[in-house]
A and B are shown apart, each in its own frame.
Chain A
Protein backbone atom coordinates (compact mmCIF):
# COMPACT_ATOMS: atom_id res chain seq x y z
CA UNK A 1 0.00 0.00 0.00
CA UNK A 2 2.74 2.45 0.92
CA UNK A 3 4.70 1.50 -2.20
CA UNK A 4 1.65 2.29 -4.31
CA UNK A 5 1.28 5.67 -2.63
CA UNK A 6 4.93 6.40 -3.26
CA UNK A 7 4.59 5.55 -6.96
CA UNK A 8 1.61 7.86 -7.25
CA UNK A 9 3.52 10.62 -5.48
CA UNK A 10 6.44 10.26 -7.83
CA UNK A 11 3.99 10.47 -10.72
CA UNK A 12 2.84 13.82 -9.34
CA UNK A 13 -0.31 12.87 -7.47
CA UNK A 14 -0.72 15.53 -4.76
CA UNK A 15 -3.52 13.59 -3.08
CA UNK A 16 -1.22 10.59 -2.62
CA UNK A 17 1.37 12.83 -1.00
CA UNK A 18 -1.21 14.25 1.36
CA UNK A 19 -2.19 10.70 2.25
CA UNK A 20 1.41 9.92 3.19
CA UNK A 21 1.64 13.06 5.29
CA UNK A 22 -1.58 12.24 7.12
CA UNK A 23 -0.45 8.70 7.76
CA UNK A 24 3.03 9.32 9.12
CA UNK A 25 3.10 12.80 10.61
CA UNK A 26 2.05 11.69 14.12
CA UNK A 27 4.69 9.04 14.33
CA UNK A 28 7.46 11.29 13.08
CA UNK A 29 6.34 14.09 15.37
CA UNK A 30 6.44 11.77 18.39
CA UNK A 31 9.90 10.50 17.55
CA UNK A 32 11.15 14.07 17.19
CA UNK A 33 9.38 15.20 20.35
CA UNK A 34 10.73 12.39 22.50
CA UNK A 35 14.22 12.85 21.15
CA UNK A 36 14.44 16.64 21.38
CA UNK A 37 12.17 17.14 24.37
CA UNK A 38 10.72 20.28 22.77
CA UNK A 39 7.43 20.68 20.95
CA UNK A 40 8.73 23.59 18.87
CA UNK A 41 11.79 21.68 17.74
CA UNK A 42 9.65 18.64 17.02
CA UNK A 43 7.32 20.75 14.85
CA UNK A 44 10.20 22.22 12.84
CA UNK A 45 11.99 18.91 12.50
CA UNK A 46 8.85 17.09 11.40
CA UNK A 47 8.38 19.60 8.59
CA UNK A 48 12.04 19.22 7.64
CA UNK A 49 11.64 15.45 7.55
CA UNK A 50 8.71 15.64 5.16
CA UNK A 51 10.47 18.18 2.97
CA UNK A 52 13.45 15.83 2.81
CA UNK A 53 11.13 12.94 2.02
CA UNK A 54 9.38 14.93 -0.69
CA UNK A 55 12.66 15.73 -2.38
CA UNK A 56 14.19 12.26 -2.08
CA UNK A 57 11.13 10.12 -2.67
CA UNK A 58 12.75 8.81 -5.83
CA UNK A 59 15.51 7.25 -3.77
CA UNK A 60 13.15 4.91 -1.88
CA UNK A 61 13.55 1.32 -3.06
CA UNK A 62 10.81 -1.05 -1.99
CA UNK A 63 13.18 -4.01 -2.23
CA UNK A 64 15.50 -2.56 0.40
CA UNK A 65 12.91 -2.44 3.15
CA UNK A 66 9.59 -1.19 4.36
CA UNK A 67 8.58 2.42 3.75
CA UNK A 68 8.24 2.88 7.51
CA UNK A 69 11.87 1.94 7.97
CA UNK A 70 12.92 4.41 5.29
CA UNK A 71 10.85 7.17 6.89
CA UNK A 72 12.32 6.42 10.31
CA UNK A 73 15.84 6.44 8.87
CA UNK A 74 15.30 9.89 7.35
CA UNK A 75 13.90 11.11 10.66
CA UNK A 76 16.74 9.69 12.66
CA UNK A 77 19.39 11.20 10.39
CA UNK A 78 17.85 14.65 10.68
CA UNK A 79 17.61 14.26 14.45
CA UNK A 80 21.29 13.41 14.65
CA UNK A 81 22.18 16.42 12.51
CA UNK A 82 20.01 18.61 14.71
CA UNK A 83 21.63 17.20 17.81
CA UNK A 84 25.12 17.95 16.55
CA UNK A 85 24.17 21.50 15.60
CA UNK A 86 22.60 22.23 18.97
CA UNK A 87 25.21 20.49 21.06
CA UNK A 88 26.63 23.68 22.45
CA UNK A 89 23.25 25.23 23.08
CA UNK A 90 21.95 22.32 25.04
CA UNK A 91 21.10 22.84 28.69
CA UNK A 92 22.65 20.29 30.99
CA UNK A 93 20.97 21.19 34.21
CA UNK A 94 20.09 18.61 36.80
CA UNK A 95 16.70 17.06 37.13
CA UNK A 96 15.79 19.42 39.95
CA UNK A 97 15.73 22.50 37.74
CA UNK A 98 12.61 23.20 35.71
CA UNK A 99 13.15 22.66 32.00
CA UNK A 100 9.79 22.12 30.45
CA UNK A 101 8.50 25.11 28.57
CA UNK A 102 4.90 24.16 29.24
CA UNK A 103 4.97 23.66 32.99
CA UNK A 104 5.43 26.09 35.80
CA UNK A 105 8.59 26.39 37.88
CA UNK A 106 7.99 23.20 39.86
CA UNK A 107 11.23 21.26 40.27
CA UNK A 108 11.33 17.85 38.79
CA UNK A 109 11.93 16.23 42.15
CA UNK A 110 8.66 17.62 43.50
CA UNK A 111 6.72 16.19 40.62
CA UNK A 112 7.58 12.62 41.50
CA UNK A 113 5.03 11.35 43.99
CA UNK A 114 6.46 9.98 47.20
CA UNK A 115 4.62 6.71 47.28
CA UNK A 116 6.51 3.49 47.94
CA UNK A 117 10.10 2.73 47.07
CA UNK A 118 9.44 0.65 43.96
CA UNK A 119 8.89 2.46 40.69
CA UNK A 120 6.47 -0.25 39.57
CA UNK A 121 3.95 0.79 42.21
CA UNK A 122 4.00 4.48 41.45
CA UNK A 123 0.81 6.07 40.32
CA UNK A 124 0.97 6.82 36.63
CA UNK A 125 0.21 10.52 36.65
CA UNK A 126 0.87 13.31 34.27
CA UNK A 127 3.68 14.60 36.46
CA UNK A 128 5.33 11.19 36.43
CA UNK A 129 5.17 11.01 32.67
CA UNK A 130 6.67 14.45 32.47
CA UNK A 131 9.46 13.29 34.74
CA UNK A 132 10.11 10.30 32.53
CA UNK A 133 10.13 12.55 29.50
CA UNK A 134 12.68 14.84 31.11
CA UNK A 135 14.79 11.91 32.26
CA UNK A 136 14.77 10.60 28.70
CA UNK A 137 16.55 13.78 27.62
CA UNK A 138 19.35 12.97 30.03
CA UNK A 139 20.24 9.76 28.24
CA UNK A 140 22.99 9.79 25.68
CA UNK A 141 21.70 10.09 22.07
CA UNK A 142 22.63 6.50 21.19
CA UNK A 143 20.68 5.03 24.10
CA UNK A 144 17.83 7.50 23.70
CA UNK A 145 17.13 6.73 20.06
CA UNK A 146 17.28 2.97 20.74
CA UNK A 147 14.72 3.02 23.56
CA UNK A 148 12.47 5.45 21.68
CA UNK A 149 12.34 3.24 18.59
CA UNK A 150 11.81 0.08 20.61
CA UNK A 151 9.61 1.02 23.57
CA UNK A 152 7.73 3.99 22.10
CA UNK A 153 7.51 3.13 18.40
CA UNK A 154 7.34 -0.68 18.75
CA UNK A 155 9.83 -1.35 16.00
CA UNK A 156 11.48 -4.77 15.96
CA UNK A 157 15.20 -5.22 16.49
CA UNK A 158 15.97 -5.90 12.85
CA UNK A 159 14.30 -2.68 11.69
CA UNK A 160 16.06 -0.69 14.42
CA UNK A 161 19.36 -2.21 13.36
CA UNK A 162 18.65 -1.08 9.77
CA UNK A 163 17.77 2.44 10.88
CA UNK A 164 20.73 2.84 13.21
CA UNK A 165 23.12 0.91 10.94
CA UNK A 166 24.42 -1.25 13.80
CA UNK A 167 24.14 -5.00 14.49
CA UNK A 168 21.12 -6.41 16.27
CA UNK A 169 23.20 -7.33 19.29
CA UNK A 170 24.30 -3.73 19.64
CA UNK A 171 20.68 -2.63 19.38
CA UNK A 172 19.62 -4.95 22.21
CA UNK A 173 22.56 -3.91 24.36
CA UNK A 174 21.77 -0.22 23.89
CA UNK A 175 18.11 -0.77 24.68
CA UNK A 176 18.92 -2.60 27.92
CA UNK A 177 21.44 0.00 28.99
CA UNK A 178 19.02 2.81 28.12
CA UNK A 179 16.23 1.29 30.17
CA UNK A 180 18.51 0.68 33.13
CA UNK A 181 20.00 4.17 32.96
CA UNK A 182 16.55 5.74 32.80
CA UNK A 183 15.46 3.81 35.87
CA UNK A 184 18.59 4.84 37.74
CA UNK A 185 18.02 8.50 36.91
CA UNK A 186 14.47 8.40 38.15
CA UNK A 187 15.36 6.43 41.26
CA UNK A 188 18.19 8.81 42.10
CA UNK A 189 15.85 11.75 41.91
CA UNK A 190 13.27 9.93 43.97
CA UNK A 191 15.83 9.20 46.68
CA UNK A 192 16.90 12.84 46.75
CA UNK A 193 13.34 13.91 47.35
CA UNK A 194 13.00 11.40 50.16
Chain B
Protein backbone atom coordinates (compact mmCIF):
# COMPACT_ATOMS: atom_id res chain seq x y z
CA UNK B 1 0.00 0.00 0.00
CA UNK B 2 1.19 3.47 -0.88
CA UNK B 3 1.05 6.39 1.51
CA UNK B 4 -1.45 8.20 -0.72
CA UNK B 5 -3.78 5.22 -0.59
CA UNK B 6 -3.24 4.98 3.17
CA UNK B 7 -4.22 8.66 3.54
CA UNK B 8 -7.39 8.08 1.48
CA UNK B 9 -8.44 5.16 3.72
CA UNK B 10 -7.52 6.86 6.99
CA UNK B 11 -10.99 8.36 7.57
CA UNK B 12 -12.69 5.03 6.95
CA UNK B 13 -10.30 3.31 9.32
CA UNK B 14 -11.04 5.77 12.10
CA UNK B 15 -14.77 5.55 11.38
CA UNK B 16 -14.51 1.76 11.66
CA UNK B 17 -15.91 1.09 8.22
CA UNK B 18 -12.72 -0.49 6.88
CA UNK B 19 -12.73 -4.26 7.00
CA UNK B 20 -11.39 -7.44 5.47
CA UNK B 21 -8.22 -7.56 3.47
CA UNK B 22 -8.04 -3.82 3.04
CA UNK B 23 -7.95 -3.37 6.81
CA UNK B 24 -5.16 -5.94 7.10
CA UNK B 25 -3.07 -4.19 4.47
CA UNK B 26 -3.85 -0.85 6.04
CA UNK B 27 -2.68 -1.94 9.49
CA UNK B 28 0.43 -3.56 8.06
CA UNK B 29 1.38 -0.30 6.32
CA UNK B 30 0.81 1.70 9.47
CA UNK B 31 3.21 -0.59 11.32
CA UNK B 32 5.87 -0.31 8.67
CA UNK B 33 5.66 3.30 7.54
CA UNK B 34 7.35 5.87 9.82
CA UNK B 35 5.11 8.65 8.56
CA UNK B 36 1.75 6.98 8.20
CA UNK B 37 1.99 5.20 11.56
CA UNK B 38 2.29 8.37 13.69
CA UNK B 39 -0.25 10.05 11.45
CA UNK B 40 -2.78 7.35 12.25
CA UNK B 41 -2.18 7.68 15.99
CA UNK B 42 -2.46 11.46 15.90
CA UNK B 43 -5.65 11.33 13.86
CA UNK B 44 -7.19 8.84 16.27
CA UNK B 45 -6.17 10.98 19.25
CA UNK B 46 -7.62 14.11 17.71
CA UNK B 47 -10.82 12.26 16.90
CA UNK B 48 -11.19 11.10 20.47
CA UNK B 49 -10.49 14.57 21.82
CA UNK B 50 -13.15 16.06 19.59
CA UNK B 51 -15.67 13.40 20.56
CA UNK B 52 -15.09 14.34 24.20
CA UNK B 53 -16.57 17.77 23.55
CA UNK B 54 -20.18 18.05 24.64
CA UNK B 55 -22.93 20.04 23.06
CA UNK B 56 -23.12 23.53 24.50
CA UNK B 57 -26.41 24.85 25.78
CA UNK B 58 -27.43 28.11 24.07
CA UNK B 59 -28.70 31.07 26.09
CA UNK B 60 -32.32 30.91 27.21
CA UNK B 61 -33.41 34.06 25.41
CA UNK B 62 -31.84 33.08 22.08
CA UNK B 63 -35.07 31.71 20.58
CA UNK B 64 -37.03 34.74 21.76
CA UNK B 65 -34.49 37.12 20.28
CA UNK B 66 -34.53 35.27 16.99
CA UNK B 67 -38.31 35.33 16.77
CA UNK B 68 -38.50 39.02 17.67
CA UNK B 69 -35.90 39.93 15.06
CA UNK B 70 -37.51 37.86 12.32
CA UNK B 71 -41.29 37.78 12.65
CA UNK B 72 -41.44 40.42 15.34
CA UNK B 73 -43.91 38.35 17.30
CA UNK B 74 -42.88 36.98 20.64
CA UNK B 75 -44.90 33.77 20.45
CA UNK B 76 -42.77 32.15 23.13
CA UNK B 77 -43.84 34.75 25.64
CA UNK B 78 -47.42 34.28 24.58
CA UNK B 79 -47.24 30.53 25.18
CA UNK B 80 -45.42 30.84 28.50
CA UNK B 81 -48.25 33.02 29.74
CA UNK B 82 -50.37 29.87 29.99
CA UNK B 83 -53.16 31.17 27.82
CA UNK B 84 -53.02 32.56 24.38
CA UNK B 85 -55.36 35.40 25.22
CA UNK B 86 -53.66 38.72 25.70
CA UNK B 87 -54.85 42.22 26.29
CA UNK B 88 -55.83 44.36 23.34
CA UNK B 89 -52.86 46.62 24.06
CA UNK B 90 -50.45 43.72 23.66
CA UNK B 91 -52.14 42.63 20.47
CA UNK B 92 -51.99 46.14 19.07
CA UNK B 93 -48.36 46.43 20.08
CA UNK B 94 -47.45 43.10 18.54
CA UNK B 95 -49.33 43.98 15.38
CA UNK B 96 -47.60 47.33 15.24
CA UNK B 97 -44.20 45.73 15.82
CA UNK B 98 -44.87 43.30 13.00
CA UNK B 99 -45.58 46.17 10.66
CA UNK B 100 -42.92 48.57 11.86
CA UNK B 101 -39.97 46.30 12.60
CA UNK B 102 -39.08 45.50 8.94
CA UNK B 103 -39.25 49.20 8.09
CA UNK B 104 -37.23 50.18 11.13
CA UNK B 105 -34.72 47.47 10.39
CA UNK B 106 -34.22 48.81 6.89
CA UNK B 107 -34.21 52.45 8.00
CA UNK B 108 -31.50 51.80 10.54
CA UNK B 109 -29.04 50.87 7.80
CA UNK B 110 -26.42 53.62 7.39
CA UNK B 111 -27.27 54.42 3.78
CA UNK B 112 -30.93 55.05 4.57
CA UNK B 113 -30.06 57.05 7.67
CA UNK B 114 -27.81 59.25 5.51
CA UNK B 115 -30.61 59.72 2.97
CA UNK B 116 -33.07 60.70 5.67
CA UNK B 117 -30.52 63.10 7.14
CA UNK B 118 -29.94 64.77 3.78
CA UNK B 119 -33.67 65.05 3.15
CA UNK B 120 -34.22 66.62 6.55
CA UNK B 121 -31.35 69.05 5.98
CA UNK B 122 -32.69 70.06 2.57
CA UNK B 123 -36.16 70.58 3.98
CA UNK B 124 -34.91 72.71 6.86
CA UNK B 125 -32.78 74.87 4.55
CA UNK B 126 -35.73 75.31 2.18
CA UNK B 127 -38.04 76.36 4.98
CA UNK B 128 -35.53 78.82 6.37
CA UNK B 129 -34.98 80.34 2.92
CA UNK B 130 -38.74 80.65 2.45
CA UNK B 131 -39.01 82.40 5.78
CA UNK B 132 -41.08 79.71 7.43
CA UNK B 133 -40.38 79.25 11.10
CA UNK B 134 -41.40 76.15 12.92
CA UNK B 135 -42.09 78.18 16.06
CA UNK B 136 -44.94 79.86 14.20
CA UNK B 137 -46.72 76.53 14.12
CA UNK B 138 -47.51 76.97 17.78
CA UNK B 139 -50.17 79.51 16.84
CA UNK B 140 -51.72 77.27 14.24
CA UNK B 141 -55.12 76.00 15.18
CA UNK B 142 -55.38 72.38 14.18
CA UNK B 143 -58.89 71.65 15.29
CA UNK B 144 -61.11 70.15 12.58
CA UNK B 145 -63.48 73.13 12.61
CA UNK B 146 -60.56 75.54 12.32
CA UNK B 147 -59.03 73.54 9.50
CA UNK B 148 -62.38 73.53 7.70
CA UNK B 149 -62.75 77.27 8.16
CA UNK B 150 -59.21 77.84 6.93
CA UNK B 151 -59.91 75.72 3.89
CA UNK B 152 -63.04 77.66 3.01
CA UNK B 153 -61.30 80.99 3.56
CA UNK B 154 -58.40 80.00 1.40
CA UNK B 155 -60.58 78.68 -1.39
CA UNK B 156 -62.68 81.87 -1.22
CA UNK B 157 -59.55 84.00 -1.53
CA UNK B 158 -58.33 82.01 -4.47
CA UNK B 159 -61.69 82.27 -6.26
CA UNK B 160 -61.87 85.99 -5.57
CA UNK B 161 -58.39 86.48 -6.90
CA UNK B 162 -59.10 84.72 -10.14
CA UNK B 163 -62.43 86.56 -10.51
CA UNK B 164 -60.61 89.89 -10.14
CA UNK B 165 -58.01 88.85 -12.65
CA UNK B 166 -60.71 87.85 -15.11
CA UNK B 167 -62.53 91.17 -14.61
CA UNK B 168 -59.34 93.08 -15.28
CA UNK B 169 -58.65 91.08 -18.41
CA UNK B 170 -62.18 91.64 -19.66
CA UNK B 171 -61.91 95.36 -19.09
CA UNK B 172 -58.58 95.48 -20.82
CA UNK B 173 -59.94 93.63 -23.81
CA UNK B 174 -62.95 95.95 -24.06
CA UNK B 175 -60.79 99.02 -23.80
CA UNK B 176 -58.59 97.59 -26.51
CA UNK B 177 -61.62 96.97 -28.68
CA UNK B 178 -62.85 100.46 -28.03
CA UNK B 179 -59.52 101.87 -28.95
CA UNK B 180 -59.44 99.84 -32.10
CA UNK B 181 -62.92 101.03 -32.95
CA UNK B 182 -62.12 104.72 -32.66
CA UNK B 183 -58.63 104.47 -33.88
CA UNK B 184 -59.38 104.26 -37.71
CA UNK B 185 -61.53 107.45 -37.70
CA UNK B 186 -58.79 109.44 -36.02
CA UNK B 187 -55.92 107.91 -37.83
CA UNK B 188 -57.01 109.04 -41.38
CA UNK B 189 -56.68 112.87 -40.95
CA UNK B 190 -53.70 112.22 -38.70
CA UNK B 191 -52.10 110.33 -41.51
CA UNK B 192 -52.63 113.27 -43.92
CA UNK B 193 -51.14 115.73 -41.45
CA UNK B 194 -48.23 113.42 -40.95
CA UNK B 195 -47.71 113.30 -44.69
CA UNK B 196 -47.84 117.11 -44.94
CA UNK B 197 -45.65 117.79 -42.02
CA UNK B 198 -42.95 115.25 -42.58
CA UNK B 199 -41.16 116.77 -45.53
CA UNK B 200 -37.83 115.09 -45.37
CA UNK B 201 -39.00 111.77 -44.03
CA UNK B 202 -39.50 108.82 -46.27
CA UNK B 203 -43.23 108.53 -45.53
CA UNK B 204 -44.64 105.87 -47.73
CA UNK B 205 -48.13 106.02 -46.30
CA UNK B 206 -50.92 107.84 -48.06
CA UNK B 207 -50.35 108.93 -51.64
CA UNK B 208 -46.74 108.89 -52.55
CA UNK B 209 -47.38 109.58 -56.27
CA UNK B 210 -49.21 112.81 -55.58
CA UNK B 211 -46.53 113.81 -53.21
CA UNK B 212 -43.96 113.34 -55.89
CA UNK B 213 -46.15 115.16 -58.35
CA UNK B 214 -46.43 118.06 -56.00
CA UNK B 215 -42.70 118.05 -55.64
CA UNK B 216 -42.24 117.91 -59.38
CA UNK B 217 -44.75 120.66 -59.92
CA UNK B 218 -43.06 122.97 -57.50
CA UNK B 219 -39.46 122.03 -57.91
CA UNK B 220 -36.62 123.09 -55.73
CA UNK B 221 -36.61 126.77 -56.18
CA UNK B 222 -40.28 127.50 -56.65
CA UNK B 223 -41.85 129.25 -53.78
CA UNK B 224 -45.51 129.29 -53.07
CA UNK B 225 -47.17 132.25 -51.74
CA UNK B 226 -50.38 132.71 -49.92
CA UNK B 227 -53.23 133.64 -52.22
CA UNK B 228 -56.60 135.15 -51.82
CA UNK B 229 -59.63 134.84 -54.01
CA UNK B 230 -60.54 137.78 -56.12
CA UNK B 231 -63.77 138.53 -54.26
CA UNK B 232 -61.92 138.86 -51.03
CA UNK B 233 -63.48 135.84 -49.51
CA UNK B 234 -61.18 134.70 -46.89
CA UNK B 235 -63.15 131.67 -45.96
CA UNK B 236 -61.74 129.62 -48.70
CA UNK B 237 -58.37 131.02 -48.56
CA UNK B 238 -55.67 128.64 -47.95
CA UNK B 239 -52.30 129.44 -46.74
CA UNK B 240 -50.94 126.27 -48.07
CA UNK B 241 -51.38 125.17 -51.62
CA UNK B 242 -52.71 127.38 -54.42
CA UNK B 243 -54.16 126.33 -57.65
CA UNK B 244 -51.68 125.67 -60.35
CA UNK B 245 -53.52 127.44 -63.10
CA UNK B 246 -53.48 130.73 -61.23
CA UNK B 247 -50.05 131.43 -60.09
CA UNK B 248 -50.12 134.16 -57.53
CA UNK B 249 -48.55 137.43 -58.32
CA UNK B 250 -47.97 138.81 -54.94
CA UNK B 251 -44.74 140.35 -53.92
CA UNK B 252 -43.82 138.08 -51.06
CA UNK B 253 -41.66 138.95 -48.19
CA UNK B 254 -41.77 135.45 -46.81
CA UNK B 255 -41.11 132.27 -48.60
CA UNK B 256 -42.91 129.24 -47.67
CA UNK B 257 -42.15 125.94 -49.11
CA UNK B 258 -44.86 123.39 -49.24
CA UNK B 259 -44.49 119.90 -50.01
Which residues on A are within 8 Å of B, measured CB to CB?
A: 14-15, 17-18, 21-22, 25-26, 29-30, 33-34, 39, 42-43, 46-47, 50-51, 54, 119-120, 124, 128-129, 132-133, 135-136, 147, 151-152, 157, 169, 172-173, 175-176, 178-184, 186-187
Contact = CB atoms under 8 A, between A and B. Distances in A.
A152 B66 contact: no
Given A17-B70, A34-B53, A183-B49, A176 B59 contact: no
A22 B43 CA distance: 34
Contact of A51 (B7, B53, B54, B69): B69
A125 to B, nearest CB: 9
15 contacts: A15-B75, A17-B67, A25-B63, A33-B56, A46-B58, A50-B69, A124-B52, A128-B52, A129-B54, A132-B52, A151-B50, A172-B10, A179-B14, A180-B39, A183-B46
A6 to B, nearest CB: 14
A186 B49 contact: yes
Interface string B65-94: 111011101011000000000000000000
Contacts of A46: 58, 62, 66
A129 B46 CA distance: 12
Given A17-B71, A151-B50, A43 B59 contact: yes
Given A14-B75, A120-B48, A179 B43 contact: yes
Given A25-B62, A179-B45, 8 more contacts: A18-B76, A25-B63, A30-B58, A34-B53, A43-B62, A169-B8, A183-B43, A186-B45
Contacts of A14: 71, 73, 75
Nearest to A27: B55
A60 to B, nearest CB: 15
Interface in B88-124: none
Interface of B: 7-8, 10-11, 14, 39, 41-59, 62-63, 65-67, 69-71, 73, 75-76
A29 B69 contact: no
Determine the main DSSP class of A at the interface with B: helix
Given A30-B56, A46-B62, A46-B66, A179 B47 contact: yes
Top 3 nearest A-B pairs (CB, nearest first) are A179-B46, A180-B42, A151-B50
Nearest to B47: A179
Among A39, A169, A179, residue most surrounded by chain B Cβ atoms (within 10 Å): A179
A50 B49 contact: no
Contact of A132 (B7, B53, B55, B58): B53
